[in-house]
Amino acid sequence: MRQSELFTKTRKEAPKDEVSKNAGLLIRGGFVRKEMAGVYSYLPLGLRVLKKIETVIREEMDALGGQEVLLTTLQDPEIWQKSGRWQDDAVDIWFKTSLKNGHPLGVANTHEEALVNLLRDHISSYRDLPLYAYQIQTKFRNELRAKSGIMRCREFLMKDLYSFSRSEAEFREFYEHVALSYMNIFGRAGLGGRTYRTFASGGSFSKWSDEFQTICDAGEDTIYVDKEKNIAVNDEVYDDDVLAELGLNKERLVKEKAIEVGNIFPLGTKYAEALGLAYKDESGNVKTPVMGSYGIGLGRLMGAVVEALSDERGIVWPESIAPFRMHLISLGKNAESEKIYKDLSKNAIETLYDDRDARAGEKLSDADLIGIPYRIVISEKSIAEGGAEIKKRDEKESRVIGFEEILHYGKKNETMVK
Amino acid sequence: MRQSELFTKTRKEAPKDEVSKNAGLLIRGGFVRKEMAGVYSYLPLGLRVLKKIETVIREEMDALGGQEVLLTTLQDPEIWQKSGRWQDDAVDIWFKTSLKNGHPLGVANTHEEALVNLLRDHISSYRDLPLYAYQIQTKFRNELRAKSGIMRCREFLMKDLYSFSRSEAEFREFYEHVALSYMNIFGRAGLGGRTYRTFASGGSFSKWSDEFQTICDAGEDTIYVDKEKNIAVNDEVYDDDVLAELGLNKERLVKEKAIEVGNIFPLGTKYAEALGLAYKDESGNVKTPVMGSYGIGLGRLMGAVVEALSDERGIVWPESIAPFRMHLISLGKNAESEKIYKDLSKNAIETLYDDRDARAGEKLSDADLIGIPYRIVISEKSIAEGGAEIKKRDEKESRVIGFEEILHYGKKNETMVK
């Protein structure tokens, strides 16, 4: 895409009311716009990143055997009353609204009840299970405060997967598959090597749940990491009994600040029982499926990548989720840039082409801010030296390569956005 | 996909409270679930269709030079008060909610104000225009009644494109491009030959707007069609003056019921003026951009296809938006079906494989109900006759083809869902 046609512009400063680093950089780069605390619009560059994250997650969910659905935001109180999650004193983050006739409606913050109720139409036998359904859908949470940029929002895109199994053992086996799949997702999104499966409190359903925590100073959580065993313990459950149960040695643990980028929960039979979802086993006995739920906030993951990987000059996108693979920058008008841009486009290599009539300093600092992995600069100087200057976003020094070499750096991105 | 693994089941009857044909068939086929009047969940088959429609629309919007964004559902009243569209007596379809601190919020039913406000950060010069931005995003409308199935919903996915031009002439040129693009979209979605650009009332902004109307008995609108000139006039503006202005001859017009599948509106400068969006022209004079808005409801389009193309046995999907291209049905267990399914999968041909342990009659009537374009039946009889029986969904008779021919019917779908 030609940068002269991209409607967003970068800005030198983030808005004064933006306290988070992630949203600060994303707003400056023209990725998102803050509409109010915890509510962000996605602009073309930001939406490209969000869709690449979506593609990575969808591929992993499909590989697990997940079937994709799209549940509704508007929710009838009836099913939430059955599970005891309608009243504001039970769940304090509902946005509520109503139909013209006064009938109250919820604006969904999660979908256990909705999915369980829906599956009553489709599950009756042990042959219908196990079943894994997921969606990538906008959630609404009426947070009292929202100061973490796009990482804790009142409106946000979430992947929520739910599993329905015939026994605790069948559930556990799938739960472990999801845990591996989550590590794949965070690895593919660029957070590998700094993200740990972390034992955490299970809330009311289970002794434990598992969080996925990315080490980062901006994190709201404190975890204790065993870097050899590749696991961690959340501060909230950190005591001698838990360490003993997990076989962890206190002296090998490192205390770190971390961002929770995903979590997986055993749910037991609570929701299925409350809503009357049951099946008949091989002997004709009526049984209740064992559930699990598995969430990843897409904006939270995007925000975590910005927090963890940016530097003092701007964002550093991993290749897998970068809005473009190449940032081609023409300093001064030259025919070579136009030709290279056409070659890259012809080869379906995602390229942002800075063809703007702007100063060199502005173009280069915008490129650092936007954070595209490969920067290719073509100027009179580079042409005289034999080609183009290339530099990866996280490298200090550029080097000159021949024009014919540029395409070699441009392999197609696995999560290309059309 | 193996049908034995698809979690949805077909049903013989639609729910009693479902009066529309489109939702009746879609519920019976397991495409959607009715959560309440005008609120439908999309199940795996339905979501596949919706995503294909989304792909067709996105390709056409990108071809127009549209830049995709994702605006927010939660809306601060402030910008809507500026345009006079916050009060319920001005716009009577708002769902409203509020923050914990009592601050009122709107649940967006459209996005003119939001986008205009956002663009104030990015537009300042004539060089920033024209600008075309679109999104594919969920809208919420508090309809008093919602009885048209997935065609008129309280919650629905919509593509909304907005144009910002520097003059009426520049606006009109783009508007005509969009009109052509819309005819492409409806043609590609299977409604070609029965969808007409239709002159309609322009509301408060303009004398006329243009609707795209698909002839169908279930339509809520009445139009007068000139089939030679390929245009129509909505009943609401049908009078001698209008016909004269359009150069239409009353005697050549045919009165038809029709479904509105899209509309495009001139908006003039109303919203830009109300919200203070302006730019400087070449001479430094402050000007207001001329706007247009262009909508397509994705569920409405899907519902219209079901209304217009189904028969007494079920849905008839066009190849372009069908959930799968092939419905491979094994009658009785046979090794040939398994082998053909593997071949089709290896060739990335989207196939629903009915490997269920079910009666032949059930499998065949489910196939008619679900409406996948190519039905391939493999049975002892077909094998004895030399291969598989093939039948297009809209054909009466099947014929036997050799196994080696099946792949020829399976070209990759242009809008493949992974």
Interface touch A70/B47, C-beta < 8 Å: yes
Q: Does A298 touch chain B (CB under 8 A)?
A: no
C-alpha closest to that of B107 among B151, B71, B54, B82: B71
* Interchain CB contacts (distance < 8 Å): A and B: 132
**φ and ψ at B387, to 5 degrees?**
160, -125
Q: Report the alpha-carbon distance of residue A193 to residue B306 in Å, rounded.
A: 50
Residue B395 CA, distance from chain mean position: 25
Q: Which helix (H) or strand (E) holds B179?
A: helix B168-186
Chain B from 125 to 144: CB within 8 A of any A CB? 128, 131, 133, 138, 140, 142-144
Q: Which domain holds residue B91?
A: 21-309
**Same domain assignment for residues B145 and B223:** yes
**Same domain assignment for residues A221 and A106:** yes
Q: What does each of the 418 residues of chain A score in pLDDT, given as a tens digit?
A: 999 999 999 999 988 889 899 999 999 999 999 999 999 999 999 999 999 999 999 999 999 999 999 999 999 999 999 999 999 999 999 999 999 999 999 999 999 999 999 999 999 999 999 999 999 999 999 999 888 999 999 999 999 999 999 999 999 999 999 999 999 999 999 999 999 999 998 866 677 899 999 999 999 999 999 999 999 999 999 999 999 999 999 999 999 999 999 999 999 999 999 999 999 999 999 999 999 999 999 999 999 999 999 999 999 999 999 999 999 999 998 999 999 999 999 999 999 999 999 999 999 999 999 999 999 999 999 999 999 999 999 999 999 999 999 999 986 544 444 4
Chain A from 24 to 53: CB within 8 A of any B CB? 30, 33, 35-36, 39-44, 47, 50
**Same domain assignment for residues A226 and A365:** no
Mean of the pLDDT values across residues B102-121?
A: 98
Compute the nearest-CA separation of B397 from chain A (Å).
Answer: 32
Q: Does A68 touch chain B (CB under 8 A)?
A: yes
- Whether the per-residue pLDDT at B415 is higher than 70: the answer is no
Interface touch B95/A105, C-beta < 8 Å: yes
Q: Does B17 touch chain A (CB under 8 A)?
A: no
Chain A from 70 to 89: CB within 8 A of any B CB? 70-76
**Same domain assignment for residues B194 and B274:** yes
**φ and ψ at B321, to 5 degrees?**
-125, 10
**Same domain assignment for residues B334 and B302:** no
Q: Give the three-state DSSP class for A326.
A: strand
**φ and ψ at B266, to 5 degrees?**
-75, 135
**Mutation for A interface: B105, B145, B157, most A CBs within 10 A:** B105
Residue B115 CA: distances (Å) to CA of A317, B135, B157, B160, B162: 27, 10, 17, 11, 8
For B125, other C-beta atoms within 10 Å of its C-beta total 11
Instruction: Give A162: exposed, middle or buried? Use CB within 10 Å, 0-12, 13-18, 19+.
Output: buried
Judge contact between B56 and B189, C-beta under 8 A.
yes
**Same domain assignment for residues B99 and B232:** yes
DSSP A318: -
Domain boundary among B309, B340, B361: B309
C-alpha closest to that of B353 among B362, B363, B361: B363
Residue B3 placed within a domain: no
**Same domain assignment for residues A156 and A127:** yes
Interface touch B140/A40, C-beta < 8 Å: no
pLDDT, tens digit, for every residue of B66-107?
999 999 999 999 999 999 999 999 999 999 999 999 999 999
**Mutation for A interface: B33, B109, B142, most A CBs within 10 A:** B33
Closest by Cβ to A62, choosing from B62, B98, B418: B418
How many domains are there within chain A?
A: 2
ipTM exceeding cut-off 0.85 for this assembly: yes
Q: Give the three-state DSSP class for B167.
A: coil
pLDDT of residue A312: 95
Q: Report the alpha-carbon distance of residue B403 to residue B418 in Å, rounded.
A: 25
Residue of B nearest to A92 (CA): B100
- For the question of whether the overall pTM of this predicted structure is more than 0.80, the answer is yes
**Same domain assignment for residues A252 and A348:** no
Cα radius of gyration (chain B): 24
Domain boundary among B274, B309, B344: B309
Residue B417 placed within a domain: no
**Same domain assignment for residues A159 and A240:** yes
Instruction: State which amino acid sits at residue A161.
Output: L
Compute the nearest-CA separation of B410 from chain A (Å).
Answer: 23
Q: Give the three-state DSSP class for B362.
A: helix
* Residues sharing a CB contact under 8 Å with residue A262, sequence separation 6 or more, in sequence order: A182, A185, A186, A211, A212, A294, A295, A296, A297, A301
Residue B12 placed within a domain: no
Residue B205's pLDDT band (cuts 50, 70, 90) = low
Q: Does B5 touch chain A (CB under 8 A)?
A: yes
Interface touch B41/A68, C-beta < 8 Å: no
CATH number at residue A365: 3.40.50.800
Residue B16 placed within a domain: no
CATH number at residue B124: 3.30.930.10
Interface touch B96/A100, C-beta < 8 Å: no
Interface touch B41/A72, C-beta < 8 Å: yes
**Same domain assignment for residues B330 and B214:** no
Tell me how many degrees the CA angle B350-B355-B358 measures, rounded to the nearest 5: 135
What residues of B are in contact with residue A105 (Cβ under 8 Å)? 95
Q: Which helix (H) or strand (E) holds B264?
A: strand B254-268
Closest by Cβ to B100, choosing from A67, A118, A144: A144
Closest by Cβ to A73, choosing from B33, B72, B138: B138
pLDDT, tens digit, for every residue of B367-390?
999 999 999 999 999 999 999 999
Q: Report the alpha-carbon distance of residue A185 to residue B415 in Å, rounded.
A: 25
Residue A2 placed within a domain: no
**Same domain assignment for residues B30 and B100:** yes
Q: Which residues pair with B162 in a beta bridge?
A: B133, B293
Compute the nearest-CA separation of A251 from chain B (Å).
Answer: 44
**Same domain assignment for residues B93 and B211:** yes
Q: Give the three-state DSSP class for B58.
A: helix
Domain boundary among B309, B342, B371: B309
Residue A318 placed within a domain: no
Residue B9 placed within a domain: no
C-alpha closest to that of B95 among B81, B76, B108: B108
Residue A89 placed within a domain: yes
* Residues sharing a CB contact under 8 Å with residue B261, sequence separation 6 or more, in sequence order: B186, B191, B195, B212, B213, B214, B296, B297, B300, B301, B304
DSSP B149: G
